Amino acid sequence: MSFVTEFKEFAVKGNAMDLAVGVIIGAAFGKIVDSIVKDLIMPVTGAVFGGFDFSNLFIALGPVPEGVAKTLAAVRDADVPVFAYGHFLTILLNFIILAFIVFMLVKQLNRLKKEAPPAAPAATPEDVVLLREIRDSLKK
């Protein structure tokens, strides 16, 4: 079997197509969760903590030049290495929310998936039935 034929068979199998669709939907869903965290959850969390902005939590790992604002973007633009733990907390929250949603989705899908009913026993072939009748009649 040639490489092209083998690849074609792989690509058109249901599992490969399902995986491709899942990756595309997952990427789009990841952007939605990212927006929820950045635009909804983090501002509310910041308001609860007195206007605190998690995205600007960082530790400069080098000297910050004079006149550079104390924001993460400005310090990074000044080529100062930073330990951006606030950004990490935001990404971690994204992951936790996304993992919880995927867990709930899989849990619901498993609950909705019905078990296949047990298969009915196959009908006994006619010759076996006749042999049994002969056997039973000989026992009498």
3-115 is classed CATH 1.10.10.60: no
Task: Please tell me the predicted confidence (pLDDT) of residue 52.
Answer: 66
Rounded to two decimals, what is the model's pTM? 0.53
Task: Please tell me the predicted confidence (pLDDT) of residue 118.
Answer: 72
Task: Please tell me the predicted confidence (pLDDT) of residue 1.
Answer: 67
Three-point CA angle 28, 33, 35, nearest 5° = 95
Task: Please tell me the predicted confidence (pLDDT) of residue 116.
Answer: 63
Kindly list the domain boundaries of the chain, sorted by start residue. Answer: 3-115
For the chain (140 residues), the mean pLDDT of every run of 10, in chain order, is 79 72 83 83 77 76 86 87 85 82 82 73 86 88
Task: Please tell me the predicted confidence (pLDDT) of residue 111.
Answer: 82
Task: Please tell me the predicted confidence (pLDDT) of residue 53.
Answer: 67
Task: Please tell me the predicted confidence (pLDDT) of residue 56.
Answer: 77
The per-residue pLDDT for range 38-67, each reduced to its tens digit, is: 788 877 877 777 766 677 788 888 888 888
Answer for the pair 97, 36: CB distance below 8 angstroms, yes or no: yes
Task: Please tell me the predicted confidence (pLDDT) of residue 14.
Answer: 63
CA distance linking residue 100 with residue 26, whole number of Å? 14
Other beta carbons within 10 Å of 37: 22
- Residue 71 dihedral angles phi and psi, to the nearest 5°: -110, 155
Task: Please tell me the predicted confidence (pLDDT) of residue 122.
Answer: 81
Closest CA to 76 of 95, 55, 90, 92: 55
Q: Which segments of 1-140 does DSSP mark as H helices, in order? A: 3-12, 14-35, 42-48, 72-77, 85-112, 126-139
Task: Please tell me the predicted confidence (pLDDT) of residue 128.
Answer: 86
Task: Please tell me the predicted confidence (pLDDT) of residue 68.
Answer: 85
